[in-house]
Chain A
């Protein structure tokens, strides 16, 4: 066992990066669920974003264009879900599961000729002298743009939900869609917009895996991150900052246990591998013991009547 092989500064930096895909997918799903829609298709939208981002980046050579394509890809797929649940009034659980299966199959088809290719590298954000500060520099200022974008989305989501009228209307639609309709709000339109946003975030999260974390394309490479993101939203009691905490905990401990495995710690690999799930769930369950609860209309289909 050689713990000295672990560089704490690099480890913390890697922990933040490891958390980003979950964070992006979870914050998107949080907005969707606060609008009262349960989209179980996060995994499918992530893998679609992953393959779209990968293909466009390889062909254009620009990761920025690739990430935009990933967001668009995830969002377009989410529109299929929006059509099924908001227009055709299909069951949300079944539609979400179908979306995941569809996304996995579609991405495998699209990515067939891209297996084994290495995408262009995504550079760290040029923050100049800030990145040269000892310790803090590499941890806080040495990341690529998407890490900061993820944090910005969390902050913006929190502020929007709490302080703006758009956020209030979105929460109202999720809390009681019949009452929102009676007041004259366009329930379906608002929900479709939320689903679209959730799809874009999931797509970004997926592309972060295929372009930065791994970086290459393999079938089914999101490997359940979408499901973790879904669970995280629930355990975080639908609160943005708790989603951030949960994502960092999960991503951080995943990274830590990989490092520990590499260092040859005398704990069976299976225990290390399960540790992120256990720790994240315990912490968030303790946090969610206050009286916060799910949005009132979550998962219920809205029929406009009368």
Chain B
């Protein structure tokens, strides 16, 4: 048997109050794409941080090519041939692509040489990128290429990728996978972290599953179904969300001829959008991010102004009614951006619960805040939605992305809204938690709430929505029933909403 590239044995790392990794052992072979699976908070990030030298293990041993490997800092790890592409890109907006790459190298060549090497590598691996562009102007996919090329220039033996596809469009994912397969063919090993089990089945040779910081099993993704892997991660059987929702016919929310400019210079204006949502119905709105999703949510939540008559709730005009008043009426919204939009990062969970729950949960009286009730409300969200946190006094920022997502969705769901608008309900959330969020949304619809779910995840929309519409360049296609809709039709709708209407005539 050949020596594995990297072998981990008995790695343990404890933080105050939590053991992030408990005697984790596994091996990665040369040229192997190895998936690391686990729920939010299962210890995946801590484990890769140890390999990359950002965190020191309390005990345990790492060996690379059979020799001891204990990087004291990321430089040492890079010198040993470990490269890492971060989940939240570690890039510098104001600097150029070449400068960003130079910062990640030990002994960068002069700028001119570096620029030509960047062009060379980006061509070889099919990752188009111009070295002198400012990173702040790049798209998410292009930013990721900067990180990947930064790693590739060091000729890594092991490339760690932390949820690389969560911010990419399907086309960009295809390009990325081509690159990764090419790297594998050249003998580079890849440690791949992702929640998207189908991607792992398509790409990875082996998988290690973490649960509660422990290695609970390995599998060959090609021969294992996504459901089996998800159950290994959770440690119990997974329930498929079941809807008992039936549209009652009462129109709760109606949008007619909605047009609105975007508040941001890089945003997308909404153009002549019309739809109706009935009580107990789930309307799914699909489309690639940046096609007006944020603007649509803004108009429905009341953050963006609109012309009278365009948005109506139970026949009542909502223009001129702000977010707080709409919450009082029962029109609630959960935006996509968790930190800074859905939640105030440095405020505690109790305070964040207070911020949107004040009107409907009666958390204030005569201008005085009732903190005890707010804390109870926060604790209820934490318990009902399985938010992993020591308690409601913790700052929103301290939660991992998936846990905070559970909190912000739970906060709106528990307020028993009449109408709920959600953008990306399960973004960055593991399979089990995503299933429970979807179930909660369906339960809400069963109780008579009208739901508008905006998402990039088409599988999710097919699973929970009654009708589907595509948002493309600020235009919305006519909603069609989800039952019987196939991938090809959806692709057509996403390609151009207005073209679809013509085809129907």
Q: What is A's interface to B at a CB cutoff of 8 Å? A: 165, 168-169, 171-172, 175-176, 178-180, 182-185, 293, 295-296, 306
Contact = CB atoms under 8 A, between A and B. Distances in A.
Interface string B83-100: 000100111111100010
Contacts of B246: none
Question: B90, B94, B104 — which one has the most chain A CB atoms within 10 A of its CB?
Answer: B94
A184 B108 contact: no
A175 B94 contact: yes
Contacts of B74: 182-184
B92 A175 contact: yes
B490 interface: no
B55 A306 contact: yes
B277 to A, nearest CB: 41
Interface of chain A: mostly helix, strand, loop or mixed:
helix
A35 to B, nearest CB: 13
A168 B201 CA distance: 41
Contacts of A178: 90
Given A165-B108, A306-B49, A183 B99 contact: no
Contacts of B89: 179
B73 A175 contact: no
A105 B75 CA distance: 45
Contact of B95 (A172, A185, A306): A172
A185 B75 CA distance: 9
B54 A306 contact: yes
Nearest to A304: B54
Nearest to B45: A306
Question: B45, B53, B95 — which one has the most chain A CB atoms within 10 A of its CB?
Answer: B95
B54 A296 contact: no
B73 A182 contact: no
B49 A172 contact: no
Interface of chain B: mostly helix, strand, loop or mixed:
loop
Given A168-B102, A169-B103, A176 B92 contact: yes
Contacts of A169: 103
B54 A175 contact: no
Contacts of B73: 184
A165 B102 contact: yes
Q: Ordered nearest first, which 6 A-B pairs have the shortest CB separation?
A: A184-B74, A179-B90, A182-B90, A175-B92, A184-B75, A184-B73
14 contacts: A165-B108, A168-B103, A175-B93, A176-B90, A176-B91, A178-B90, A179-B89, A179-B92, A180-B92, A180-B103, A182-B86, A183-B103, A184-B75, A306-B49
Contacts of A168: 95, 99, 102-103
Interface residues of B, number: 23
Contacts of A185: 103
Given A184-B53, A295-B94, A306-B45, 5 more contacts: A168-B99, A182-B74, A184-B73, A184-B74, A184-B75
Interface in B63-94: 73-75, 78, 86, 89-94
A105 to B, nearest CB: 34
A296 B94 contact: yes
A296 B99 CA distance: 16
Contacts of B54: 182, 306
Contacts of A176: 90-93
A165 B102 CA distance: 9
Given A165-B102, A306-B55, A183 B90 contact: yes
Contacts of B95: 168, 171-172, 175
A203 B53 CA distance: 40
A306 B92 CA distance: 20
A249 B46 CA distance: 54
A180 B100 CA distance: 10
A240 to B, nearest CB: 16
Nearest to B73: A184
B115 to A, nearest CB: 14
Nearest to A175: B92
Contacts of A184: 53, 73-75, 78
Nearest to B94: A175
Contact of A296 (B46, B86, B90, B92): B92
A295 B94 CA distance: 8
A157 B95 CA distance: 18
A293 B92 CA distance: 13
Nearest to B398: A305
A180 B54 CA distance: 12
Nearest to B92: A175
A175 B90 CA distance: 11
A180 B102 CA distance: 12
Contacts of B90: 176, 178-179, 182-183
B94 A183 contact: no
Contacts of A172: 92, 95, 99, 103
Contacts of A293: 94
A183 B75 CA distance: 7
Question: A171, A175, A180, A293 — which one has the most chain B CB atoms within 10 A of its CB?
Answer: A175
B232 to A, nearest CB: 26
Nearest to B108: A165
Nearest to A176: B92
A180 B53 CA distance: 14
A111 B158 CA distance: 62
A172 B150 CA distance: 15
B77 to A, nearest CB: 8
B102 to A, nearest CB: 6
A274 to B, nearest CB: 34
A184 B500 CA distance: 51
B353 to A, nearest CB: 25
B55 A183 contact: no
Nearest to B88: A178
Question: A172, A178, A179, A183 — which one has the most chain B CB atoms within 10 A of its CB?
Answer: A183
A288 to B, nearest CB: 15
Contacts of B75: 184
A186 to B, nearest CB: 9
Contacts of B93: 175-176, 296
